[in-house]
Structure 1
Amino acid sequence: MEGFRFHYDIRVRWPEVDGQLIVYNANYLMYLDLAFQEFFRHELKLYGEVPTTVLAKTTLQYHKSARFEDDLSIWVRTNRIGNTSIVLDFAITRQDELIFEAQSIYVHVDGAGTPSPVPDDWRAALTGYEQGEAV
């Protein structure tokens, strides 16, 4: 997918579909969360760090329905890094066909759940990765 480096592949499973055998709309959020975790764990090597973020906002754009046993790629890229927030773009494709897009804002928080600055190592990893550096 143009403009994205990382993707996480899944096959749509039975519990994720409704009676029409299409993915129930709330499950797309689960797909985004899976890709977010894998992006931080495998690509950025920030395993164990993910729980210090909270999801503040997500906007969704459905283009086509995914169906039972479809093979999907969930693409992730960093859109922007703020003082306490990270904005990620997501795209879901089925055989190179764009079927879904989303943008999520994650806020970094401290142990008390208060917004806190995005750590320097996160900022460096996210920026470097999007500039094509190996992590």
Structure 2
Amino acid sequence: MAVTWSAPVRYSECDDQRVVFNANYLVWADEASNAWWPSVGLTWDPDGVAGVQPLVKAAVLEWSSSAVWGDVVDVVCDLEKLGRTSLTLRFEVRVGDRLCCVVRSTYVATTDGVAVPWPDRVRAAVA
């Protein structure tokens, strides 16, 4: 189930040319992921999600165009892949119809820092 998180580009997110600094795309992906988990019926609390701690294993960004100060970004988040111990969320960062960036973040389910299979409750919610 795709969910969209939106926000205006703030001046503090930009460089001197008013172009969004690249690290902010990861911040926006995190914001969108915080909306995605509840959209599939899972809450993220101090104990993690369904008894496991999802940790980011990898994040890949691919830019197509720049967001700039004054734009409103829409970040569409959806599940791209579900593995045994990992899942990958895909984030499309858009300004209107224009694609700015695609972020893929892979999360690993962990307990005490060790990778574990996703609980059945998580698998059922995201499948």
**Do they fold alike, i.e. is TM over 0.5?**
yes
Instruction: Give 1:5 deviation, angstroms.
Output: 2.8
Runs of 4+ in structure 1 deviating by more than 4 angstroms, as ranges, are none
Q: Which residues in structure 2 correspond to 1:1-135 (within 5 Å)?
A: 5-41=2-38, 43-47=39-43, 48=45, 49-50=48-49, 52-110=53-111, 112-127=112-127
Instruction: Give 1:95 deviation, angstroms.
Output: 0.7
- Greater relative CO, 1 or 2 (CA 8 Å, sep 6+): 2
- Compute the RMSD of aligned alpha carbons: 1.5
1:130 corresponding residue in structure 2: none
Give secondary structure in 2 for the equivalent of 1:65: coil
Q: How many residues align?
A: 122
Instruction: Give 1:18 deviation, angstroms.
Output: 1.0
Instruction: Give 1:87 deviation, angstroms.
Output: 1.1
Cα separation, 2, equivalents of 1:120 and 1:87: 17
Cα separation, 2, equivalents of 1:29 and 1:104: 9
Aligned-pair identity (%) = 30
Cα separation, 1, equivalents of 2:2 and 2:107: 20
8 Å Cα contact 2:2-2:36 kept in structure 1: no
Instruction: Give 1:72 deviation, angstroms.
Output: 0.8
TM-score for the superposition, normalised by structure 2: 0.89
Instruction: Give 1:104 deviation, angstroms.
Output: 1.4
| Stretches of structure 2 lacking an aligned partner (at least 5 in a row) | none
